[in-house]
Chain A
Amino acid sequence: MPNQKSDIIKKLENEILELQGYRAALGKIPMHIDLGPINEAFPEGRFPVGAVHELVSAGMVNQAAATGFIAPVISNLMGDHGVVLWISDCRTIFPPALKHYGIDPHRVVFIDLKNQKEVAWAVDEALKLHGLAAVVGEMADINFMASRRFQLAVEQSQVTGFLFNKKERYTTNACLTRWKITSQPGIIPGELPGVGFPCWKVELLKVRNGRPGIWKVALMNGQFVATGQEPVAIRELHRKTG
């Protein structure tokens, strides 16, 4: 009897998640994207695919940090034949460098447009297309209307969208998560010279139905690893956005 009760609760929970835009994440083939310590922030411990993620990144340095953090995720989404659309109005991405993060640069199609209006239209169209691995859009800011359209589009197509918010303006929007990535001094194993493995402070400011928090992670050989010195700090942030 208690077993049945927990089953019913589980079922109801899943239904609620589905209503909240996690439909793709609960789809038939769960895609395993390992974010190391950050996994526990998400419902079911899985990174939500088929949703729109917002990456707050003002300035070139932060943008590079955000790109570096999200690139391994995109690489996982792409698999062996996936294609990514990278939509931007002032692109500075250096294609050969994507290979360092496991993305085949020749499977990325860059769309270079003139202004934000065109970018918003193109992102919307791209998110509607079935069969893309991911869509990356470099946006100046994401307004509520646009983000809701994107969310509706990905619910149909199950494409994962990553939107850079380059103005660092925190507006209310319908994105499933909001990330802020800042660079941290790199990790060097032992006493070796050089810059070492890239390390970031990952702030998950908002995640629907999950637990927002702050982590320090390093990317070592394609794996996200919590850096040892500090304990993982999870605290409640922006509770009302959830």
Chain B
Amino acid sequence: MNKRFVSIWFHHLETDWFVQRQPALGQIPFVIATPGHGRLIITAVNRLAEEQGIKKGMVLADARVIIPSLHVVDPIPELSKKLLQKLAEWCIRFTPCVAIDGTDALLFDASGCAHLWGGDVDYLTAIIKRLQERGYQVRVGMADTIGAAWAIARYGKRSPVIEHNKQLNELAELPPASLRIEQELVERLYKLGLHQVSDFISIPRSALRRRFGQAFLLKLDQALGNEPEFMQPVVPVTPYQERLPCLEPIVTLTGIEIALEELLKKLCHRLEKEQKGLRCARLQCHRVDDITIQVEIGTNRPSRNTQHIFKLFENKLSAIEPALGIELFILEALKIEDHGHGQERLWEQQGGLNDTGLSELLDRFTMRFGSKCFHRYLPDEHYWPERSFKQVISLQEQPTTNWRTDHPRPLHLLAAPQAIEVTAPVPDYPPLLFRYKGKLHKIVRADGPERIEQEWWLQQGQHRDYYSVEDEHGQRFWLFRSGHYDAAKTYGWYLHGFFA
């Protein structure tokens, strides 16, 4: 596919911005002047002032000679940079790939975009119109190369569109400055009587290189498309992205759902072809009033099941407020993983942890209750009960060691052991009685002690002597004494769990 680029030149970027803020400025010539070397130098000029011969780089005193009533505005540092960044992000609606070009221009990679607006000319008209609505005067150019688009935007006199592979013909009539070369080089070319590109295009390359250097030839080749040139987009383009521009702004939930279904169908079809599945997806809704709303979903396993992904989004769609309408939907797959062809099953089998149904169910839980809602545990090699298992995120991870069953463990364990009052014979006998939550339990039978020491490399403290005990009603508990019996009474008795 041949590339198409659009260069957008904001020739009065900063002054246009001031006019938006103070409409009165639109009627009078004014400039922006910055102090430097003890004088004021003009850095931006509005259209009215430019028509009367005031140019960028003039000293303010000289300009005042031409227009005595010239209005001067103080500069705002970094204004053009910020404005261009904002405009570039806004222009994502025209093409996914927008770059900032210098201090006063934007560059679009419009390959395959223009037909959505009905052709090159309509595309450019739409851009100019929308930017004019925002209050910016622009000149645009469209060509197969970045250099040619740049040249036609600034120096073109006829159509802003250079047809496919016609850049040589169009550039021929333009001045040398249109090749994006230094001012000094331009002056040298003029001195030699080379006023148009056509004057030196037929000169042998070796001669040009000798006189003007390799950089000059490179710029010439880039403009003509003999050398590749790359741009750096403001927003990196996600490789898996689907766009849906709307003719009429969408304001209803049903509309959003239809748009999402369309996008998902396209995206999942592509993932199917490439044997991939998405782990994380984002739906961006660009609203008419320049606000972008986005919702994100994640899955536990790579998925390209349209219905499932739609269900995940479904809960979040109500958070999208369309206001005056959404004009562009973008669905991006932020994280992609390999996902082979799932074999069609003839009958439903008892699904294990690899079951897609299970991971889809967990995705739905995650979407509704947050990512911390489900837990799965594997054995961990610690005797300390609270540390004897560890949490894992993946559903596929298998235990590397066995679950231990050589010591009794209670089915229910209190998150924190609770202090109890006991009557116990010293030193190593289980208690005779204990009181828990105001109720007295008389111990009839007991097992133990099982001593569990602190792991000193993890935590300091006293060891625990665990007893499993049964009271006269047959209720079974897990008690422990923390520490040795001593005169200072540092030990304590605790209830930790309940046996079946």
Contact A130-B357, Cβ < 8 Å, known A83-B351, A92-B413, A185-B444: yes
Minimal Cβ-Cβ distance residue in B for A95: B377
Minimal Cβ-Cβ distance residue in B for A103: B403
B329 to chain A, nearest CB (A): 28
The segment out of A1-9, A10-18, A65-73 that lies at the interface is: A65-73
Whether the pair A105, B389 counts as a contact (CB closer than 8 A) is yes
Q: In the complex, which of the residues B373, B395, B398, B500 has the most CB atoms of chain A within 10 Å of its own CB atom? A: B500
How many interface contacts (CB-CB < 8 Å) are there between A and B?
172
A31 to chain B, nearest CB (A): 10
Whether the pair A67, B373 counts as a contact (CB closer than 8 A) is no
Whether the pair B498, A61 counts as a contact (CB closer than 8 A) is yes
Q: Does A106 contact B (CB under 8 A)?
A: yes
Q: Does A129 contact B (CB under 8 A)?
A: yes
Whether the pair A98, B475 counts as a contact (CB closer than 8 A) is no
Whether the pair A113, B373 counts as a contact (CB closer than 8 A) is yes
Minimal Cβ-Cβ distance residue in A for B399: A106
B354 to chain A, nearest CB (A): 9
Q: How many chain-B residues does the 8 Å CB contact rule pick out?
A: 56
Q: Does A220 contact B (CB under 8 A)?
A: no
The segment out of A34-42, A192-200, A234-242 that lies at the interface is: A192-200
How far is it, in angstroms, between the C-alpha of A61 and the C-alpha of B350 when the chains are bound?
Answer: 33
Collect the chain A residues with CB atoms within 8 Å of residue B374's CB.
109-112
Whether the pair B409, A97 counts as a contact (CB closer than 8 A) is yes
Q: Does A125 contact B (CB under 8 A)?
A: yes
B397 to chain A, nearest CB (A): 8
Q: Return the contact of A100 from the options B353, B398, B405 (Cβ within 8 A).
A: B405
How far is it, in angstroms, between the C-alpha of A95 and the C-alpha of B411 when the chains are bound?
Answer: 8
Chain B 364-381 interface 0/1 with A at a Cβ cutoff of 8 Å (1 = within): 110011001111111100
Q: Does A142 contact B (CB under 8 A)?
A: no
Q: Return the contact of B376 from the options A96, A110, A122, A199 (Cβ within 8 A).
A: A110
Q: Does B358 contact A (CB under 8 A)?
A: yes
Main secondary structure of the interface of B (DSSP, over half): mixed
Q: In the complex, which of the residues B408, B468, B470 has the most CB atoms of chain A within 10 Å of its own CB atom? A: B470
Contact A96-B351, Cβ < 8 Å, known A118-B369, A196-B445: no
Q: Return the contact of B375 from the options A109, A196, A198 (Cβ within 8 A).
A: A109
Q: Does B225 contact A (CB under 8 A)?
A: no
A66 to chain B, nearest CB (A): 8
Whether the pair B409, A96 counts as a contact (CB closer than 8 A) is yes
Whether the pair A64, B357 counts as a contact (CB closer than 8 A) is no
Contact A95-B350, Cβ < 8 Å, known A109-B374, A183-B476, A195-B476: no
Whether the pair A71, B358 counts as a contact (CB closer than 8 A) is no
Collect the chain A residues with CB atoms within 8 Å of residue B389's CB.
95-96, 105
Collect the chain B residues with CB atoms within 8 Å of residue A60's CB.
412, 498
Collect the chain A residues with CB atoms within 8 Å of residue B368's CB.
118, 121
Task: Please list 11 pairs of residues, one from A and one from B, whose beta carbons are closer than 8 Å in the complex, sorted by A's number.
Answer: A64-B411, A68-B499, A100-B409, A106-B379, A112-B375, A113-B373, A132-B358, A184-B474, A194-B447, A196-B445, A200-B500
Which 9 A-B pairs give the minimum distances between C-beta atoms? A68-B500, A131-B351, A81-B352, A94-B413, A64-B498, A99-B403, A185-B474, A97-B409, A184-B474
Residues of A within 8 A of B (CB): 60-61, 63-65, 67-69, 71, 79, 81-83, 92-101, 104-114, 118, 121-122, 125-126, 129-133, 182-186, 188, 193-196, 198-200, 219
